[in-house]
């Protein structure tokens, strides 16, 4: 099984949206539907966010595929990125109530990126392809793109497989954060903020 890694801007953006939507939905469904959104609204939000990153940020989207079948992706942001276009998009598509809930949701997962870092917003692999080295390939691609910057991410402390993978890839825990409010709305109380630096 040969895993190929490509950047999102190597694809037709329209054709990429559906698969990225599936990957984003796979990664965030349980958090979205825990308290804040119905499954139907979660599908809608996932579709909007996937459309946004595929059309506006494909250069920061890393894709893993086998035999031209996409099975994983990672999305990164730097300090210059903003979600202005996404906010404009959802303003046209979602009710005020759902926009407020969405901003509340993202507040639990937001991170202010510095000039010295590249931040992994999310990394997702389809369930059938997990434990096959896809996540590792995606992380290595993110490392290559980080160059002289540090690579950072948040991971839920109860996500043991992900924690094990990041530690294997030399990510170090910088701090642990806990939120009762986050637990109430997303089902996740504790997170680790991790970083990786290239070894000279």
* pLDDT value at residue 200: 53
Range of weakest confidence among 38-42, 76-80, 93-97? 76-80
* pLDDT value at residue 160: 93
Q: Is the pLDDT of residue 3 over 90?
A: yes
Count of beta carbons in the 10 Å neighbourhood of residue 12: 9
Count of beta carbons in the 10 Å neighbourhood of residue 80: 7
Q: How far apart are CA 64 and CA 121, in angstroms?
A: 16
Range of weakest confidence among 30-39, 99-108, 115-124, 158-167? 99-108
> HSE (CB half, 13 Å, CA atoms) of 179?
16
pLDDT tens-digit readout, 122-158: 999 999 999 899 999 999 999 999 888 999 999 999 9
User: Where along the chain do its domains lie?
Assistant: 4-196
Q: Domain spanning 4-196: which superfamily?
A: Gcn5-related N-acetyltransferase (GNAT) (3.40.630.30)
Comparison of pLDDT for 61 and 187, the residue scoring more = 61
- Confidence band (pLDDT; 50, 70, 90) for 89? confident
In angstroms, the Cα distances linking 6 to 73, 141, 142 are 10, 9, 11
Q: Is the pLDDT of residue 197 over 80?
A: yes
- Confidence band (pLDDT; 50, 70, 90) for 103? confident
State the average pLDDT for the chain. 91
């Amino acid at each position: 099984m040969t895993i190929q890694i490509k950047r999102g801007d190597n694809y037709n953006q329209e054709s990429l949206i559906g698969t990225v939507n599936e990957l984003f939905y796979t990664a965030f469904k349980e958090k979205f539907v825990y308290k804040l959104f119905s499954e139907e609204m979660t599908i809608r939000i996932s579709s909007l966010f996937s459309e946004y990153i595929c059309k506006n940020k494909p250069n920061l989207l890393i894709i893993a595929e086998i035999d031209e079948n996409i099975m994983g992706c990672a999305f990164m942001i730097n300090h210059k990125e903003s979600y202005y276009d996404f906010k404009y998009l959802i303003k046209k598509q979602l009710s005020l109530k759902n926009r407020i809930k969405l901003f509340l949701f993202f507040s639990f997962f937001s991170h202010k990126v510095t000039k010295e870092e590249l931040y992994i917003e999310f990394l997702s692999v389809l369930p059938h392809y997990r434990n096959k080295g896809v996540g590792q390939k995606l992380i290595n691609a993110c490392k290559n793109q980080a160059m002289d910057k540090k690579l950072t991410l948040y991971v839920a402390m109860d996500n043991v497989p992900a924690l094990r993978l990041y530690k294997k890839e030399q990510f170090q825990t910088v701090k642990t954060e806990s939120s009762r409010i986050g637990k109430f709305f997303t089902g996740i109380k504790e997170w680790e903020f991790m970083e990786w630096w290239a070894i000279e």
